[in-house]
Chains A and B, each alone.
Chain A
Amino acid sequence: MTPEDSRYAKSHEYINVEGEIGTIGITDYAQKELGDVVFVELPQVGTQLEAGDELGSIESVKAVSELFAPVGGEVVEINERLAEKPELINTDPYGDGWMVRVKVTDPSEVDELLMTGEEYDEYVETESH
């Protein structure tokens, strides 16, 4: 089941907000759809993003997919381990496979724009049929 401590975008990113910092990655469903991830392209620290902006890209063996910012914010940290171990996105998408940390600009966006884990599960269910 999709963790309830995060919020989810229709483009399959999650954001886990603690204080003003949100940790962004892709969902377990998304990593399964992509298959083996071979590298990721991430933004530079300091990049200012609005909700929906392209945040980077994920290349799997079979396809490329874009990563979008679920909410607006400033990039404060990227997961450097992914350069060496992109497979962390497959093996631990909600943990060591996180991708970017942002300082959230407007915390109200988190509830307004995004889904709960339960809503996301329902969304995935309808999308895949």
Chain B
Amino acid sequence: MSDEVTTLKKTPLNQLEHELGGKMVDFGGWELPVQFSGILEEHAAVREHVGLFDVSHMGELTVKGPDALALLQRATCNDVSKLENGRAQYNGLLYPTAGFVDDILVYQNAADDFFVVVNASNSDKDFEWIADAAKGMDVEVRNVSADYAQLALQGPEAERLLQPMTDVDLAPMKYYRFGTGKVDGVPAIVSRTGYTGEDGFEVYVAPSEGPRIMRKLLDAGAKPCGLGARDTLRLEAKMALYGNDIDQTTTPLEADLGWIVKVEKGDFFGRDVLQREKAEGPRRKLAGFEMVDRGIGRHGYPIVDGSEEVGVVTSGTHSPTLKKAIGLAYLPLGKSAPGNEFMVLIRGKEVRARVVPTPFYKRSR
């Protein structure tokens, strides 16, 4: 704990979260609820019914102009030219070392107009990195993070809850598509995206409208959910968390995100490194594991082979759906295949774990 007094940033929904009894914590400089009624209950609500998360801390950038596509192609590893209007794409913003600046979502409004959603604590860094890469190009990059409240309505009942409140037609909207229209009478972006492995939507509205819309969704039956459940849900779905599973020292191939690496698309930051890694294989790989013996391997716990440290746990928790301890770890490539067993050092004790296929949880469609 630091004695330094820092002022935490607050989302537009902060006051409402206090009123709802949210247990507030410091999350990367933001005051956000870690839970309301309890992580297990909130987790189950999202898997079985519908839960609502305040994700207003996420950052948003706009990239507009004749060179918008060229800029994003250069700064990211996925192929942005494959996007169409109304589609969103998961992507990696990379350094020339192929390490992650951030993992992002790119929404295409038009061929020269993109909306980029970035991690909260990275938004200034991402903006500077993209703006720097844009030098000499005919494109305008803006950080519009302060213009939006973002709500994530997640769970099998999300569509049923949201449709009566919006003129965006949700039923035909497929996963990773979005529409613009109105939610509760005010302009909104609605995308069929999320960070839970469940069906659901993310809704972007003006900050001043956030609390009213949140209240309406809760009144309609959504359960308020915090960061705790968000973490167990995303981990079951094996979605990477920047700062835990990926960062500037990890490449998308190491992070088992080969599906977002399109080296054939043309030049981009980190392409050389990724081409070499593709040919030779990355030296380590992010693998899913479950504990064989009792214990939970958590973020930062070493993986040992005799006296040698051979890897590290990047995320670990008790899986509420599977009712066992699961996690993600970087392992040497040769030890990362399902079935391989290894030892996690948990508070000085070696505890057995086994690589398993991922995702840990996949919803039935």
Contact = CB atoms under 8 A, between A and B. Distances in A.
Nearest to B323: A38
A61 B294 contact: no
Given A57-B347, A59-B318, A61-B232, A36 B296 contact: no
Given A61-B318, A62-B317, A39 B39 contact: no
A64 B296 contact: yes
A75 to B, nearest CB: 19
Contacts of B228: 35, 61-62
Interface residues of A, number: 11
Interface residues of B, number: 16
**Main SS class of interface, A:** strand
A41 to B, nearest CB: 7
Interface string B30-59: 000011001110000000000000000000
B298 interface: yes
B320 interface: yes
A105 B35 CA distance: 40
Interface string B306-323: 000000000001101000
A41 B293 CA distance: 12
B347 A36 contact: no
Interface string A18-35: 000000000000000001
Given A35-B35, A38-B318, A61 B298 contact: no
Interface of A: 35-36, 38-39, 41, 57, 59, 61-62, 64, 90
Closest 9 CB pairs of A and B: A38-B318, A61-B39, A36-B40, A62-B228, A61-B318, A59-B296, A36-B39, A36-B38, A35-B39
